[in-house]
Structures are given as structure tokens and as C-alpha cells.
Amino acid sequence: MSPAHSGPLQDRIAFLWLAIYLVGGGGLGARIVQLQVVQRAEYELAAESNRTRMIYQAAPRGRFYDRNGVVLATNEPAFSLIYLPPKGQTALGLTTLGEELAKHLNASRKSILERLQQAVREETAVRLAENLPTRTMFRLSELKTLYPGIDLIVEARRRYPFGRFASHLLGYMGRMDPRSWEQLKAKGYRIDSRIGKMGLERLFEVELRGKDGGIMMEVDARGRIKGIVERIPWQPGSNVHLTIDAAVQRAADEGLRGSLTGRGAVVALDPRTGDILAMASSPDFDPNDFLSSDPELVKRSAEELPEFNRAIAGTYPPGSAFKIIVGGAGLNEGRFSTSDSVYCPGHYEIGGRVFLCWETKGHKTMSWFPGLTNSCDVYFYRMGLRTGGALIEKYASLFGLGAKTNVALRGEKKGNLFGPRAKGSRAWYDGDTANLAIGQGELLVTPIQLAVVAAAVANRGTVWRPHFTSRIEYAGGRPEYKQTPERAGTVPMKDATWSSLHEAMRLVVSSGTGRPAQIPGLEVYGKTGTAQNPGKDHAWFVSFAARPGEVPPVAVAVLVENGEHGSSAAGPIARSVMMAAFGMAVAREDVPPRATMKELPQELPAKPAVLPATRRL
């Protein structure tokens, strides 16, 4: 290349290098500015996190109160063992630590090791044990000097002061499963957070949950805790005030536990508002067991949990308790009067088949008042046929049968409405009407539905949506929520019809099959029911009570599975519940002895066979 051409080429190369230098240097400078200025706070935070760790402390959960301010679920201080994985934690180190902790915690080495490995994977602190006894806590405190990453903290632990009390309603708390963790981690939940798993604990999870606090700890390169940097206070959750009356609930719980079979349900309502005063299902459970520091007890409790809430999800034939609706329909529509009488020889023939009365020797001459008082099946076969299946079905629907009450609990069943419309295109026969008239056949109800029926009869026609919330006392200054009663429907019957129903139900208790429910000083109204079942028959008692001249403040439905007789098995439970609602102490002498009960009329379910006969609606 000639000198003439080398000059311009060198100039171009120099210019190119200058451009590269300027662009590269500018980019590097911009990056330095970004690192030193723009992202300085971010990297300072990252650097800070390399030498600090947050040990979270569970906030006190909101409390549950009954209508009188009695605490039903609260919190107490408890020691928890946590593990904060240090950097460079080896598998061998975890195995040794797991073996040591398992000895002190009375837990399996495998379960402890899995929790430790989870902490390393998630790079977060986990609780290894909660509610530690004082003796165990002191033994574990010695290990803190030997094993980096473990520590003991004090936090709030859920406690249910009455144990097996309204357990199906209140529910229980437990650890999150992986699916719940994926759904809730974005809302600030940690992998070891406790959540409501059932009942009101689950329903009010958002309201009850507080904002966790914690301790910001300084740690060294090996993860050893050097000291406390900052304490972040927790914020408690919101308190929920319920309509439940603790005394009424206790009477319901204890009544079912002491019943003939220990299985059944009780629902007590305020007929004036739809307030749920008690909701019990048996067998029940102690929600404290799910918060125990003993993993075997927690595991056993989960395996044996009687989760089925019979009060809202159990469906049963109502038996003779349904005769209240049959009578109301027929009397109100003028299909028969209170003075119309029939003769009961102990059986009644329909379409060539014999339908029996529970009283095999017969009740002789029966009209409305003795008919309901003695629960005569023949009387109701005859009056049911006069009324017709369609009308009976209509009134059953007005009272809310065949539909959910829409109580705000998971798992409620709607039962099964039985009648010509519900049966659809299938033929409807007189035998179907006879079965329906005594609450048998395909008719199925839940205990809460029959409690709504009893309340509607007590208040003369208002069907309330049952509810358990009185008010929510929000944390953080938010205005409190107050529940207002919700009318779900009405049963438009004449005053004379309501009066006839009330008088007949009063006679049931004063002189008929419901005598075990008598309470001195109160006007008690009731109806027994014994429902046919493949095994032993189910026992029902529906009732309400008032002081003379007052509006009834309590209505009750009691079911004892396989209790056989509504009078002796369910009646005394209803009596105790109503006494508790009026502030009356239930002494042992207040409960009629079984010997006396056996002398009372014990209604049996009629077992009529159905054969197609003349079709009649």
C-alpha cells in the first residue's frame, strides 16, 4: 500500500476504535450508574438479607364469642421450635439434626427430616413443633448452641376453652396442604401457616387471620443467630360475635352424647329472627387435638375425624313430625275441620292393601286434637287423602322443605321433597299420599329444615334464613358488620289454622306422646316422630316454648339416629335445650327416669306397603 493511501485508512481505523471505546465505555458507565445509583437500594436490601433472617411469629387469631360475650375460641402464648436453614447446610448435617430433634419431640425421624429438607428447599424458616411443654422447651434450648438454625419463639396458639363444644360449627385449624399453599402464598401465608379447615374457622379465615409479626435476626455466614435487629409487632385478627348461646349449645351437645346411640343432631333457633342458638352434631370432636404438639394425636384425630355434620347434611324421613304440615295444609284449605272424626281400628285399607297404625289395637274415634296428640296414623291416612298429595307438597315447599335453608356452611343438603310435582311423569297413587301423610316414602329432611319448620309454626308463618353471625368486630378501625335477619319466605295460613296447630302441639306435650318435654312454668309445644329406617328407627322431636302470653323465643329440632322412639330418645334432649334457653338449670331430677318413659305412649312408625290404587291428587 502506498503512503498516499495509508493515511486515510489509519484515520478510519482510529475513528472506529474511538467509536468502540465511546460506545463500550458509555455502556459500562451506564451500567455502573445503574448499579451504584438506580439499583443501590435493591442490592443493599439483598446484602442485608444475606446477614439477616426473619423469624415470623403467628398473630393472635380473632376470637369467637357467643351472644352473651362468652369466649368460644381464643389464643394463648405457646413455645414453637423453628428451623432457619443456614448456608451450606449438608444432607449429613440435616440427618444428624433430625435424629437429635426426633428424640426430644417424640416424633418420627422421617417426619422431622422431611420438614428440615423442606426448609432448605424453600429457603425459609419452618415450624418443627408447636405448643411445646416447658420441660421439652428447656431441653431444646440447650441444642441451640450445638446446631445452627434452630430457635425457640413465643407466639399465639389457637385454643378452644370448652373442648368438644359446637365442634362441627366452629370447626378446627390445621396445616395447609400443597394445593392450599399454592393458592394462599401470594396473600402472605407461609408454608407452615395454620388455616381454618372446617366450619366457621374456614368460613371466616380472612376476617380471623391477623397480620403476623416477627423478629429480625442477625446471623453470621454459617447461619448462627448473632442478635436481634428489630421486633415487628403482630396485628390481631377480627373478632366474630355469634348468635350461639353457650348454655343452649352445651345442653344440645351433652344431650346427644348421653343419648341412646350417641349419634344425631340438634338445631335450636330463635323464631323471632332466625338466630341459631345451638347447632350440634354427634359424634363430635375436640378441635384442640389438631393443635397438639403430639404428632401421633394429630394424625389419629385426622384419621378419626367425624367430619359429617348431621345437622345440615344428614337427610332422614321426618316421620310423624311431618303431620304438623299435613294438618296445616288440610285445615287451612278447608279439606277437613278440627271436629271431623274417623274411627281407628289400628289399620286402614287402601286399594286392597292394609296400612297399619302404630297403635295396633287402634285409637278408636279420632278428630284433629286427639289425632295429633296421639299421632294416630289412621287419622292422618284419612285426612291426608282428603287433602291430597299436591296440597301437602305445596305446603311442605312453603315451609322450606326440598330446598337448602342457605345457612352459610359448606355441605348443606336440600333433602328430598315428595309429591306429585316432585315425582314428575311417574303416576301418583293414593298409597303415595298415605305414605306422605305420615312423613314416610321418599320424603327426606335435614334437622335444620325441621328446626326452620318449628320456628315458622312458632311465629305463625315467617320462614327465616337461619344464621349464626351477630356482628364482626373488625380490627384496624374498620366499621363493624351487623347481621340483619333475612326473610326466606312466608306460610300464609289463617289465624284459626295457626291456633289449631298450636293447641294440638300443646296437647301433645301436656297429655300425649311428648310428655317428657314438659317444663313447669313454660308453655311447651311439640311433636314426636319415629321414622322408618332399614335398621332401628330414627327418633325425632320438634318443639318450641314460651312463657305464658309471650312470643316463643326458642324452637328446637332433635334427631337421635336409631333412637327408636321420639318421645323417650329425643324429647328429653329438647326439654334440656329449651330449659337452657330460658336460663333454667337442668338437674338430674328434672329428667324423667327411663322407667317412667317406658310407661308413656311410645309411637312406632307405621310400615304400610304401597300398591297402585285409584289415582288421586
Q: Are residues 214 and 326 in the same domain?
A: no
| Between residues 602 and 558, the one the model is more confident about | 558
Q: Are residues 335 and 220 in the same domain?
A: no
Of the candidates 242, 266, 298, which is a domain's last residue?
242
Strand pairing partners for 155?
A: 78
Q: Are residues 277 and 353 in the same domain?
A: yes
Tell me, what CATH number does 493's domain have?
3.40.710.10
Query: Has residue 122 got a pLDDT over 90?
Result: no
Cβ neighbour number for residue 508 with a 10 Å cutoff: 30
Residue 38 placed within a domain: no
pLDDT at 597: 40
**Region label for 246, one of left (φ > 0), alpha (ψ between -120 and 50) or beta (otherwise):** alpha
Tell me, what CATH number does 83's domain have?
3.90.1310.10
Strand pairing partners for 81?
A: 129, 152
Q: Are residues 214 and 361 in the same domain?
A: no
Q: How far apart are CA 388 and CA 608, in angstroms?
A: 18
Q: Are residues 258 and 200 in the same domain?
A: no
Q: Are residues 255 and 238 in the same domain?
A: no
Q: Are strands 225-232 and 487-490 parallel, antiparallel or unpaired?
A: unpaired
Residue 134 placed within a domain: yes
pLDDT (tens digit per residue) in 557-589:
999 999 988 999 999 999 999 999 999 986 544
pLDDT (tens digit per residue) in 498-557:
999 999 999 999 999 999 999 999 999 999 999 888 889 999 999 999 999 999 999 999
pLDDT at 89: 66
Q: Are residues 411 and 263 in the same domain?
A: yes
Residue 291 placed within a domain: no
Query: Has residue 184 got a pLDDT over 60?
Result: yes
Of 24-38, 178-192, 273-287, 516-530, the poorest mean pLDDT is in 24-38
Q: Are residues 177 and 260 in the same domain?
A: no
User: Residue 265: which of 578, 549, 539, 616 has the closest Cα?
Assistant: 539
If you average pLDDT over residues 35-45, what whole number do you get?
53
Is this prediction's pTM over 0.85? no
Whether the CA torsion 382, 387, 392, 395 is positive or negative: it is negative
Residue 493 placed within a domain: yes
pLDDT (tens digit per residue) in 83-118:
877 766 666 678 888 888 888 887 888 888 888 888
pLDDT at 578: 98
Q: How far apart are CA 600 and CA 603, in angstroms?
A: 9
Query: Has residue 4 got a pLDDT over 80?
Result: no
Query: Has residue 445 got a pLDDT over 80?
Result: yes
- What confidence tier does 595 reach under pLDDT thresholds 50, 70, 90? very low
Share of the chain above pLDDT 90, in %: 58
The distance in angstroms from the start CA to the end CA of the chain is 118
Q: Are residues 418 and 270 in the same domain?
A: yes
Cβ neighbour number for residue 535 with a 10 Å cutoff: 7
Show the domain range for 81.
52-242
Q: What is the chain's length?
A: 617
Q: Are residues 100 and 209 in the same domain?
A: yes
Strand pairing partners for 127?
A: 82
SS3 for 572-589 is HHHHHHHHHHCCCCCCHH
Query: Has residue 462 got a pLDDT over 50?
Result: yes
Query: Has residue 74 got a pLDDT over 90?
Result: yes
Where do the H-state alpha helices sit in 151-290?
A: 167-170, 178-184, 199-203, 205-208, 246-257
Instruction: List phi, psi (to 5°) of 369.
Output: -65, -50
- What confidence tier does 221 reach under pLDDT thresholds 50, 70, 90? low
Residue 162 placed within a domain: yes
pLDDT at 357: 95
- Residue type at position 480: E
Query: Has residue 48 got a pLDDT over 50?
Result: no
CA distances to 133, 253, 322, 350, 453 from 527, rounded to whole Å, are 51, 21, 9, 26, 12
Q: Are residues 572 and 447 in the same domain?
A: yes
pLDDT at 116: 86
Residue 578 placed within a domain: yes
User: Residue 609: which of 441, 458, 453 has the closest Cα?
Assistant: 441
Query: Has residue 609 got a pLDDT over 70?
Result: no
Contact 365, 341 (CB under 8 A): yes
If you average pLDDT over residues 332-353, what whole number do you get?
95
Q: Are residues 93 and 148 in the same domain?
A: yes
Of 50-54, 236-240, 613-617, the poorest mean pLDDT is in 613-617
Where do the H-state alpha helices sit in 52-83?
A: none
Task: Count how many domains the chain has.
Answer: 2
- What confidence tier does 134 reach under pLDDT thresholds 50, 70, 90? confident
Residue 458 placed within a domain: yes
pLDDT at 160: 96
Residue 197 placed within a domain: yes
Q: How far apart are CA 449 and CA 405, in angstroms?
A: 7
